[in-house]
Amino acid sequence: MSPSLSEFRKPFEAAGQGHVFRHAEAQDAAAQARLAQQLAGIDLKLLKRLVDEMKQDRPVTALELDRVEPAPFLALPVGPGGRRREKRAAQAGIEALTAGKVAAMVVAGGQGSRLGFEGPKGCFPIGPVSGCSLFEWHFQKVVASRRRFGAAIPMLVLTSPANHTQTIEFLRANRWFGMPEQDVIVFPQGMLPAVDFDGRLLLEAPDALFRSPDGHGGALLALAREGVLDELTRRGIENIFYFQVDNPLVKVLDATFLGHHRLAESEMSSKMVLKRDPKEKVGVFARAGRRIGIVEYSDLPENLAQAVEPDGAVRFGAGNIAIHVIDVAFARRVNEGGLRLPYHRAKKVIPCLGADGVLTRPTAPNGVKFETFVFDALPLAKRALVVETSRAEEFSPVKNAEGEDSAATARRDLLNLFRSWLSEAGFAAGDGAVLEIAPSFALDREEFAHKVAVERVLCDGTLWVK
């Protein structure tokens, strides 16, 4: 046994994890060194805490569930007053964007297991006509915003060690989709081990623990650990516009949302939509005392999920769509002295080595994965703002291979959005017409209408050409 691996034997045995050495002893020195390196990355104290929490099986929330109420939010604008409010916010957002104070950040470190797509989810083809990838779709928006605001807006891409290299290769092969390479910052999140229901670490090979990305909350840790916050500060960036790779509808760098965030002096702001129905699988905004947070759908007790107001509205009806503005200073502050976000648990089918050293894929969940959620930082904010938006305009995630929240529903919703832009500009797309308005052509309905009306851009039925 290599000396480095033997170093870990005592502490891991004392922690009831001695089985991790079982298959490594028959391996060569290189394999043993690989396992040693992985064990060095395991925080045994944290692991014990996670296992204890798992055994107690209490819901994991950043807010105390026995005192949560629905969170207040800025509702969709109504009337002239609402329009004035939105205009003021847009102005403040435009100023920040033009002054180069904002970065875009897409989180793309997830495993996309429900989608079942080989490779990083950002490489998934989404364009209804072009078939362009989710990454390209989002990058086009950043490139177009850089042009619109005349600012060197950086694009941050969160990956995980499992897809980091593939992501970089994909972006490089596509020439960073028109971004200058120095303005694309790709950085990996951390990984966490999984355990079986007795709290024992699982092995995926004799020299490898089963580990998975530490959740999108890992973005906050990685921003600090990978030096990204320092780089952003060096560039004079104050706000990070955070979104998920799997939502093609997101209005990346939305000036109005940024403006609301800045005018409210919020440290972390979030967009929300009203839930489709009480059962929709999105987290909900809640408040406990002065603290705002999100309770994940799986942690929301049934009586709260089903509760309705006297007017019939779902009481906890403000659904999280994972679009946030996060202050660089806030991200820095929460990392000072070690960021402690709660660890959520998910029971999963985890292929792993049996006692005989044979890799098996169980048919039922056999273990627990742990992850942190970025929104659990919300209660740490001195001020947190929640802003309502329209689902049809902004939210249609690609989560599943088919059915709800799949590529088919996301393309349908993109199509419906583009149809509405067309009809506002005085056109009607025929039934069954497939169309796509590339973000590089128009970022929003106003720009589209302007191009069509003022610049007299022509349309051939499916593609827009100048």
In angstroms, give the least distance from the CB of 305 to ligand UTP.
19
Q: What share of the chain is helix, strand, coil (3-state, %, to 5)?
A: 40, 20, 40
Question: Rounded to an integer, what distance in angstroms lies between the CA atom of residue 435 and that of residue 452?
Answer: 15
Sign for the CA dihedral angle at 317, 322, 328, 332 comes to: positive
- Nearest CB to ligand UTP, comparing residues 70 and 215: 215
SS3 sequence, 354-387? CCCCCEECCCCCCEEEEECCHHHHHHHCCCEEEE
- Nearest CB to ligand UTP, comparing residues 110 and 127: 110
- Nearest CB to ligand UTP, comparing residues 149 and 370: 370
In angstroms, give the least distance from the CB of 18 to ligand UTP.
29
Q: Which two tokens stand for residue 328?
A: 């660089």
- Nearest CB to ligand UTP, comparing residues 397 and 439: 397
CA distances from residue 268 to 265, 295, 332 in whole angstroms, order as listed? 9, 16, 12
Count CB atoms within 10 A of the CB of residue 266.
Answer: 23
Query: DSSP secondary structure string, 206-257?
Result: TTEE-EEE--TTHHHHHHHHTTHHHHHHHTT--EEEEEETT-TT--TT-HHH
N residues, the chain: 466
Residues in contact with ligand UTP by the rule CB under 6 A:
107-115, 121, 158, 160, 189, 213-216, 218, 244-246, 371, 399
In angstroms, give the least distance from the CB of 216 to ligand UTP.
4
- Nearest CB to ligand UTP, comparing residues 213 and 367: 213
Count CB atoms within 10 A of the CB of residue 406.
Answer: 18
Strand spans (E) along 266-410: 268-274, 284-288, 291-295, 318-327, 344-348, 352-353, 359-360, 367-371, 384-388
Under 8 Å between Cβ of 179 and 142: yes
- Which residues, including other chains, have CB under 8 Å from residue 381's CB and lie 6 or more apart? 266, 267, 268, 292, 330
Question: Rounded to an integer, what distance in angstroms lies between the CA atom of residue 112 and that of residue 81?
Answer: 42
- Nearest CB to ligand UTP, comparing residues 113 and 390: 113
In angstroms, give the least distance from the CB of 260 to ligand UTP.
23
Report which residue's Cβ sits closest to ligand UTP.
110
Question: Rounded to an integer, what distance in angstroms lies between the CA atom of residue 135 and that of residue 107?
Answer: 11
- Nearest CB to ligand UTP, comparing residues 158 and 253: 158
Question: Rounded to an integer, what distance in angstroms lies between the CA atom of residue 144 and that of residue 165?
Answer: 26
Strand spans (E) along 391-430: none
In angstroms, give the least distance from the CB of 457 to ligand UTP.
32
- Nearest CB to ligand UTP, comparing residues 38 and 244: 244
DSSP state letter for 181: G
- Nearest CB to ligand UTP, comparing residues 215 and 248: 215
Query: DSSP secondary structure string, 90-102?
Result: HHHHHHHHHTT-E
DSSP helix/strand/coil, 123: helix
In angstroms, give the least distance from the CB of 280 to ligand UTP.
14
In angstroms, give the least distance from the CB of 295 to ligand UTP.
16
In angstroms, give the least distance from the CB of 317 to ligand UTP.
20
Q: Which two tokens stand for residue 392?
A: 């049809």
Under 8 Å between Cβ of 20 and 12: yes
- Nearest CB to ligand UTP, comparing residues 84 and 347: 347
Under 8 Å between Cβ of 240 and 328: yes
- Nearest CB to ligand UTP, comparing residues 222 and 292: 222
- Nearest CB to ligand UTP, comparing residues 187 and 421: 187
With vertex at residue 271, the alpha carbon angle to CA 133 and CA 234, rounded to the nearest 5 degrees, is 75
